Structure 1
Amino acid sequence: MVENSENNVKEEIAGSGNPEPTEMKEQITAEQVEVSVKDSAEYKELQDKYLRLAAEFDNYKKRMVREYSRALETSADEPIRELLAVIDDFERALAYENSDVQNFRQGVNLIYTKLMEMLAKRGLVKIAGKGEQFDPIYHDAVMQLETDEYEEGKIVEEVQKGYTINGRVLRPARVVVAKRKTGSGLPINDSDKK
């Protein structure tokens, strides 16, 4: 009975007009070939675009590296060009061997002023020193001095000037900070502590 049902199914398939499995294989294979050829052309086009973009990006990276290197090389040109004017002034001041001390001092002071103005244009600012409250962000305490002249924590002396550039500390000021005197130097009695 199972054999009869199998025969009936085969007859129905043959009579229904559906293609035989071998015909279907040939049909699918032809469609696959057409799709794969189409995909191959699309694939080649996409691969070509990818390779072009990769080459373009590689060229972009190389160009950026060259431009960055060039910018680093030339970044110091303008500040140094401005410093050349200060060097010229120093050379002129040093050329006058027989000038008196007052004129020499005045010339050096003018050069100093010119240099500080040039640096101020670039964002350099002196950190406040003597008489100001000690701030560990802007000051580096090199010593504490016991004194009654200044409040505790005030700067008594500036050992080395400090500077900020564009709001950042370039170099902290090295300072001497006031400290309260501990006493007269006489021994303290235990009865005084109570």
Structure 2
Amino acid sequence: MPTPAQDRAPDPPPEDAVQPPRADLPQPGPPTEEAEPGPDAATGAGTPDDEYAAALKEVEDRWRRALADLDNLRKRHARELERERAAERARTAAAFLPVIDNLELALSHADADPGAIVEGVRAVRDQAVSALERLGYPRHDETGVTFDPTRHEVVGVVQDADAEPGTVVQVLRPGYGDADRQLRPAAVSVAKRE
């Protein structure tokens, strides 16, 4: 008759104990002479480690090339950006050359006819305003329009019985540009609300 110790299953070994090799798994170590050659033996291909190393080397090479391409792209972009900035500065400066020419012409005629200088300066101012408008910065100096905080800067509030409350009654300094591209807002006085 079996004893109670023989009826129960053996206790599992502790977790950190070394397990004996299982007979159903291939054992590590040098192959025996009886072992058949593997599928790579006929083709002469390397071991999987060699394949992984070659693939890793190829991926690393592609990564280095991509980094070099990115660095070259950054340098090319920086050069093109500087070239575009220089071209834009030259285009802007060229837009004001006629204004300078006309100011010099007005100054040269100032001695001959002092009254004509006022007309000359006014024409030069209009030419400069036109140059700014061609560059994308139209002038805003309208009165009687509703106050718009994106286009106007309030520098004073005045009592004006003829003006609707919240409207621009006086432009002290004109603004240039629109709300999304603005050089400066117009400095205005606004009618007081009752």
TM-score w.r.t. the length of structure 2 is: 0.68
Is the 2:151–2:175 contact (alpha carbons within 8 Å) kept by the matching residues of 1? yes
Residue 22 of structure 1 pairs with residue 32 of structure 2:
yes
For 1:132-153, what per-residue CA distance to the aligned partner results, in whole angstroms no more than 9, with x for missing partners?
A: 2222222222111123222222
Query: Matched residues in 1 for 2:73 and 2:193: separation?
Result: 64
Distance 2:179 2:95 in 1: 19
CA RMSD of aligned residues (A): 3.0
Q: Counterpart of 2:140?
A: 127
Runs in 1 of length 4+ with deviation above 6 angstroms? none
What is the SS of the residue equivalent to 1:118?
Answer: helix
Structure-to-structure mapping, 1:31-180, within 5 angstroms: 33-165=46-178, 167-179=180-192
- One-letter amino acid of the counterpart of residue 133, structure 2: A
Q: CA deviation at 1:38?
A: 4.0
Alpha carbons of structure 1 residues 79 and 23: separation in structure 2 relative to 1, 3 Å: same
Task: Determine what percentage of the aligned residue pairs are the same residue.
Answer: 31
Counterpart Cα distance in 1 of 2:157 and 2:81: 47
How far did 1:58 drift?
Answer: 1.6
Whether the aligned pair in 2 keeps the contact of 1:147 and 1:180 (CA below 8 Å) is no
Residues in 1 aligned to 2:156 and 2:91: alpha-carbon distance in whole angstroms? 39
User: What SS does the aligned partner of 1:86 have?
Assistant: helix
Q: SS of 1:61's equivalent?
A: helix
d(CA) in 1 for partners of 2:35, 2:87: 71
Any gaps of 5 or more consecutive residues in structure 1?
A: 1-19, 182-194
Q: What amino acid is the match of 2:84?
A: A
| Distance (whole Å) between structure 1 residues aligned to residue 191 and residue 34 of structure 2 | 101
Partner SS, residue 32 of structure 2: helix
Number of equivalences: 161
**Distance verdict in 2 for CA 1:149–1:39, change over 3 Å:** closer
Which residue identity is paired with 1:83?
A: F
Instruction: List per-residue Cα deviations over 1:53-107 (Å, max 9, x = no partner).
Output: 3222221222112222232233211110121221111112112241323311121
Runs of 5+ unmatched residues, structure 2: 1-29
CA pair 38-157 structure 1, distance change in 2 beyond 3 A: closer
**Distance in 2 separating the partners of 1:38 and 1:153:** 78
